[in-house]
Amino acid sequence: MNRKLPPFAALRAFEAAARHNSFTAAAAELHVTHGAISRQVSAFESWVGVQVFDRIGKRVRLTEDGRRYLSAVQAAFDSIAAATEQLRDTGVVHVLRVNALPTFAMKWLLPRLSQFQRMAPNVELRLATSNEPVENLDSFDVAVRRGPAHWPNCASGQFLDESEMPVCSPALLKRLPIHTADDLARHVLLHADTRPDAWHHWLQAAGVKMKCRKKQSFDHFYMALQAAVDGLGVALGRMPLLGDELASGRLVTPLDGPHVDARGYWWVARREVANAPLVEQFCRWLEAQGTQAQHNDMQQTAQRKTHAASRESASRIRP
């Protein structure tokens, strides 16, 4: 196709002058003289055969034809700029530094990261885990912490709610059934040093007072969960972090409640990078994944209640 395009230098001069309503300002932006802008615009008007500026003394003003043409030129410039940026980014690897809580990273983030990689194939995500306060971290772009809290010089947003329920292995439940919260007195309660008061709060919400509770403690929550999977005792499971374990049957929830709300998960981005496209993309992705996880958790909870009701009904009619 033989396109009849005006000289690009003339188009740039027209667009800048039209945007500023000034040949002088356009000249300053393009680092040329006022006379150069004036000559380019005049040459452009001669080339198209249409006047695009009214000259009023030393001032200029777009004509009606000029205003319509400016809209089309700016849209074309925006399209060219976007295509050029995409071309320059082809094959370029961008680095995103994420610092997340250890259990969250292992149980929730890592199983989902392949989805983000498919969405952003040119991103090298450097994941580190830590329980340190955000202000103590040496370097990060986005951190995941429990909140709300005060994070100096950071932007933040919640993306995942959390509640706690007792969980254990099916084998342990078969050996020592749990029908009510009082039955937990016969079990070893698995604690995590990072959440020392979690069991106390849950038992209080359940209205249970146990004077002699057997317990075993671990320095990380994911170790307490693994101990629960291995049948060493009962842990407080965080929903929806344990969706995979519950869906696979490695862990079960022996009781219907109470669901005790815990502090949710928040993304925390350093203020100076919070508006960077890659950081925004990752935070929006976390929010979308959080919404999906909450929906899946509600469905799984409803299914577990239905199955429990069916088992109870079957036991009542069994001779």
Structure tokens at 306: 């239905």
* Under 8 Å between Cβ of 164 and 202: yes
Looking at residue 310, its pLDDT comes to 56
Looking at residue 218, its pLDDT comes to 92
Q: Mind listing the pLDDT tens digit for each residue in 268-300?
A: 999 989 989 899 999 999 999 999 888 776 776
**What CA–CA distance (Å, rounded) separates 10 from 13?**
5
If you average pLDDT over every residue of the chain, what do you get? 87
pLDDT above 80 for 306: no
Q: What are the extents of the domains in the chain?
A: 8-89, 92-305
Percentage of the chain exceeding pLDDT 70: 90
Domains 8-89 and 92-305 share a fold: no
Between residues 23 and 305, the one the model is more confident about:
23
Residues 6+ apart with CB under 8 A from 108: 160, 240, 241, 293
**What CA–CA distance (Å, rounded) separates 180 from 311?**
16
Q: Mind listing the pLDDT tens digit for each residue in 106-115?
A: 989 999 999 9
* Under 8 Å between Cβ of 233 and 188: yes
CA separation, residue 114 to residues 82, 119, 266, 278, 302 (Å): 27, 9, 21, 16, 28
94-100 and 234-239: which strand pairing? unpaired
* Under 8 Å between Cβ of 262 and 186: no
Structure tokens at 132: 């340190």
Looking at residue 211, its pLDDT comes to 63
CATH T-level fold of 8-89: Arc Repressor Mutant, subunit A (1.10.10)
pLDDT above 60 for 314: no
CATH code of 92-305, in short, is: 3.40.190.290
* Under 8 Å between Cβ of 231 and 172: yes
Looking at residue 25, its pLDDT comes to 92
Using CA atoms in the order 134, 137, 140, 142, what is the torsion angle rounded to 10 degrees? -20
Query: What SS3 class is residue 156?
Result: strand
Looking at residue 298, its pLDDT comes to 72
Least confident of 68-77, 251-260, 298-307: 298-307
Q: Mind listing the pLDDT tens digit for each residue in 122-152?
A: 899 999 999 999 998 888 999 999 999 999 9
* Under 8 Å between Cβ of 111 and 228: no
Q: Mind listing the pLDDT tens digit for each residue in 26-48?
A: 999 999 999 999 999 999 999 99
pLDDT confidence band for 62 (50 / 70 / 90): very high
* Under 8 Å between Cβ of 262 and 238: yes
Query: What SS3 class is residue 254?
Result: coil
Tokens 């994420």, located at residue: 98
Looking at residue 194, its pLDDT comes to 83
Query: What SS3 class is residue 201?
Result: helix
pLDDT confidence band for 313 (50 / 70 / 90): low
pLDDT above 80 for 98: yes
Q: Mind listing the pLDDT tens digit for each residue in 186-244?
A: 999 999 988 888 898 999 999 988 765 688 999 888 899 999 999 999 999 888 888 88
